Amino acid sequence: METVAIRKCSSYEQNEVENAVSMVISDLGGIEKYIKPGDKVFLKINLLMKKKPEEAVTTHPAVIEAVIRKIQGAGGRVLIGDSPGGPYNERALKTIYRICGIDKVAEKTGAELNFDTSAVELQNPSGKILKNITMIKPVADANVVVSIPKLKTHNLTTFTGAVKLMFGCIPGNLKAEYHVRMPELKDFADALVDICMLTKPHLVVMDAVEAMEGEGPSGGTPKKLGCILASSDPFYLDGVAADIIGLKSDEAPTIKAAMKRGIYDPGNLKLVGDNKEEFKTSDFKIPTKRPTDMLSDKVPVLIKPFIKRYIRPRPVFDWDRCRGCGDCADNCPARVIEMIDNRPHVNYDDCISCFCCQELCMYRAVEVKRPWLSKFIFLR
């Protein structure tokens, strides 16, 4: 049986967060079960982009601080880090640490911020898609990995939580290469499972006090769920989180892939702490743009490219909001966005619908739209 703990946390008031974090970790057997004196702990958080904590895009500083204090109480030495979207260098990290409120957490707790942007390549013989994985060096150097995902929706993978978070162990723009290499969602989901299995954290504490619904992982809206979850297994944690927001296992590609590979079995789940039903919601807005891979088993292979042309979701730019910064073009994995007169223009024939442009747009100037035929085929 794999255990997932859940506890009520109605706000980001520090004392309440620390109490909830302490309880979920205690429910799992206590922090000493995971951290030994002198352990070098890499604290993997969600720092997708330069967003303030109240926007619900990144892991909230109050939760990060609470977890750090538990680790330090057990004698662990904490290094905070992530490889955000876009450039991965010291200058970019300093900016995102400041805007996301992480630098203040480091100052208050004495934890260290990571500025080591080097990478290492590790063999992954048990991987289904990725037999070798290049990852940021601080993860490989750590004795223990603890992660703090944010519960959010995602326009590509529908849901992002503990498993998808570990994609941030891939350095900088190399993540774009993974999108190009695996344009089919089912393959990308298996690659995410491979990465999570290799980097599998010893302990996961999920920030679900304020989640994100709608056009996540950055363009959605905050949605209060009022809870903190924890587990030593990221796959089971995601299964519970998805259920709370009304998402079926086969609707979340990473969970579906884990089930097919025998990594996740809902029948082996043990829930502890507060009653999960207290936090379940029936009106959580899930992205309506269903992946084209949903057609994989429904149409002959020969006509699939033709069908995909008419159902594939597309990024559409709002030029009134666009500031002409060019981040979308710079971070497009398929290199199909060209800036003309400070405005982005997309070659849709070669677009792989990864939605990195929407995910990394600071000004919410990108909307994901789908053709009428797609709306006809998929009800949601």
- The enclosing domain of 201 has a CATH number of 3.40.50.11440
**End position of a domain, from candidates 278, 300, 334:** 278
Q: Give the residue-averaged pLDDT of 23-45.
A: 98
Q: Is residue 337 part of a domain?
A: yes
Kindly state whether residues 239 and 298 are assigned to the same domain: no
Kindly state whether residues 7 and 77 are assigned to the same domain: yes
**End position of a domain, from candidates 211, 243, 278:** 278
Of 11, 2, 42, the closest CA to residue 208 belongs to: 11
Calpha distance 355→333 (Å, rounded): 10
- Please give the pLDDT value at position 287: 87
Kindly state whether residues 241 and 355 are assigned to the same domain: no
User: Which position has the token pair 């992002």?
Assistant: 160
Whether 307 has a pLDDT exceeding 90, the answer reads no
**End position of a domain, from candidates 253, 278, 303:** 278
Kindly state whether residues 42 and 172 are assigned to the same domain: yes
Q: Give the residue-averaged pLDDT of 46-53.
A: 96
Q: Is residue 81 part of a domain?
A: yes
For residue 134, what are the β-bridge partners? Answer: 121
Kindly state whether residues 26 and 131 are assigned to the same domain: yes
- The enclosing domain of 368 has a CATH number of 3.30.70.20
Calpha distance 91→56 (Å, rounded): 23
Q: How many domains does the chain have?
A: 2
Of 137, 9, 115, the closest CA to residue 63 belongs to: 9
- Please give the pLDDT value at position 86: 84
What is the residue-wise DSSP string for 41-59? EEEEE---SS--GGGSSS-
Kindly state whether residues 104 and 221 are assigned to the same domain: yes
Kindly state whether residues 306 and 363 are assigned to the same domain: yes
Kindly state whether residues 46 and 132 are assigned to the same domain: yes
pLDDT (tens digit, 9 = 90+) per residue, 171-220?
A: 988 999 889 999 889 999 999 999 999 999 999 999 999 999 999 999 99
Q: Is residue 244 part of a domain?
A: yes
Give the range of the structural domain holding residue 192, as residue numbers without chain letter.
2-278
pLDDT (tens digit, 9 = 90+) per residue, 85-104?
A: 888 999 999 999 999 999 99
Q: Is residue 284 part of a domain?
A: no
Kindly state whether residues 42 and 103 are assigned to the same domain: yes
- Please give the pLDDT value at position 328: 94
Kindly state whether residues 273 and 317 are assigned to the same domain: no
User: Which position has the token pair 């504490």?
Assistant: 205
Kindly state whether residues 309 and 216 are assigned to the same domain: no
pTM as predicted: 0.92
Q: Give the residue-averaged pLDDT of 19-35.
A: 98
For the chain, what is the largest distance between any 2 Cα atoms, rounded to a whole number of angstroms?
Answer: 60
Q: Is residue 260 part of a domain?
A: yes
